[in-house]
């Protein structure tokens, strides 16, 4: 089995300005240092708003912190007349490692289709970023379907169309009904869909590559439910919203094995 280092990713959404971001990342690093956290065993990344990324980059590189960072979105275009957009190229120039693509809030509030997500995955890869493609069903879709996993799997298939052979990607399964609602999917529900995602990855990319791709679960992950979710064989980390804004909560999630 390929080794998949667990990834704990904090999606800050539209919270924290650059000063708050610096204070937070510094304190998170101290907290994890005090706890003797081994970053080679569990990787940590934060996803701040665009305006914070330059500050986080400076802090992380100056203090040689092992905390990674990503953006919450990127443009499908590299440059040009796209007012308000931020390109993957600019993010790469700031050493940004990851970028979320197709978070359900982008899909719902900004009408991002699977085709747009596919173009953003391609743009991220073109500039050496690792896209974290988010997929997941709404409650309505889950209730109307006799195969709830098929919805996330269909989004995955479209989002990964024409994926380059050597691409490094991360998938995040986030049932929309569990995001910010306090309603966490049961470990079994999360595993069922994450397993279906891995089976589809194997069909698309081959068994060996599929075995090396990290699949995160997201949706009301908290210190008290993370361990049971992480016990599932096809879940390799968590995408954490609300609880990633609190140092104690997020560091406990990172240290879920303790
Ligand atoms: C998210 O925004 O990706 C998320 C999972 O949020 P929360 O943890 O707050 O449900």
Return d(Cα 130, Cα 70) in angstroms, integer: 9
At 72-91, the pLDDT tens digits run 999 999 999 999 999 999 99
Structure tokens of 95?
A: 């050493």
The fraction of the chain above a pLDDT of 90, given in percent, is 95
Structure tokens of 212?
A: 């090396």
- Pocket mutation for ligand 1, best pick of 11, 108, 245 (most atoms within 8 Å of C-beta): 11
Catalytic residue among 43, 105, 137, 174: 174
Question: Annotation-wise, does 180 bind a ligand?
Answer: yes
What distance in angstroms lies between residue 213's CA and the mean position of ligand 1's atoms?
A: 21
Domain region containing 119: 7-254
- Closest among 69, 39, 1, 51 to 244, alpha carbons compared: 69
Q: Residue 1 domain-assigned?
A: no
Return d(Cα 222, Cα 220) in angstroms, integer: 6
Q: Residue 2 domain-assigned?
A: no
Q: Residue 153 domain-assigned?
A: yes
Q: What is the CATH number of the domain that holds 127?
A: 3.20.20.70
Beta-bridge partners for 130: 98
184 pLDDT more than 90: no
Q: Residue 75 domain-assigned?
A: yes
- The DSSP code for 20 is H
Protein residue with least CA distance to atom 6, ligand 1: 241
Q: Residue 170 domain-assigned?
A: yes
Q: Residue 149 domain-assigned?
A: yes
Return d(Cα 136, Cα 121) in angstroms, integer: 17
Using CB distances shorter than 6 Å, the residues near ligand 1 are 11, 13, 174, 179-180, 218-221, 239-243
Is 103 catalytic? The answer is yes
Protein residue with least CA distance to atom 2, ligand 1: 241
Q: Residue 57 domain-assigned?
A: yes
How many domains, the chain? Answer: 1
Atom nearest to 218 CA in ligand 1: 5
Catalytic residue among 37, 43, 103, 105: 103
Q: Residue 249 domain-assigned?
A: yes
The overall pTM is greater than 0.90: yes
1 pLDDT more than 60: no
At 10-36, the pLDDT tens digits run 999 999 999 999 999 999 999 999 999
């Amino acid at each position: 089995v390929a080794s998949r280092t667990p990834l704990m990713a904090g999606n800050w959404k539209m919270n924290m300005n650059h000063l708050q971001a610096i204070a937070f990342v510094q304190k998170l690093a101290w907290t994890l240092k005090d706890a003797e956290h081994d970053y080679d065993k569990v990787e940590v990344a934060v996803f701040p708003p665009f305006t914070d990324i330059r500050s986080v980059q400076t802090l992380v590189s100056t203090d040689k912190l092992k905390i990674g960072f990503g953006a919450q979105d990127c443009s499908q275009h590299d440059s040009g007349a796209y007012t308000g957009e931020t390109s993957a190229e600019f993010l790469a120039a700031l050493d940004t490692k990851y970028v979320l693509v197709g978070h359900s809030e982008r899909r719902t509030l900004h009408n991002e289709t699977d085709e747009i997500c596919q173009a953003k995955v391609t743009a991220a890869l073109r500039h050496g970023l690792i896209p974290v493609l988010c997929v997941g069903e709404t409650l309505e879709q889950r209730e109307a379907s006799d195969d709830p996993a098929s919805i996330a799997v269909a989004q995955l298939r479209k989002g990964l169309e024409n994926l380059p052979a050597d691409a490094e990607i991360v998938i995040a399964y986030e049932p929309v009904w569990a995001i910010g609602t306090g309603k966490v999917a049961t470990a079994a529900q999360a595993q069922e869909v994450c397993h279906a995602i891995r089976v589809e990855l194997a069909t698309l990319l081959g068994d060996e590559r599929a075995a090396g791709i990290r699949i995160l679960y997201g949706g009301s992950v908290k210190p008290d439910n993370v361990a049971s979710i992480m016990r599932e064989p096809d879940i390799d980390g968590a995408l954490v919203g609300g609880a990633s804004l609190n140092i104690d909560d997020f560091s406990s999630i990172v240290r879920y094995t303790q």
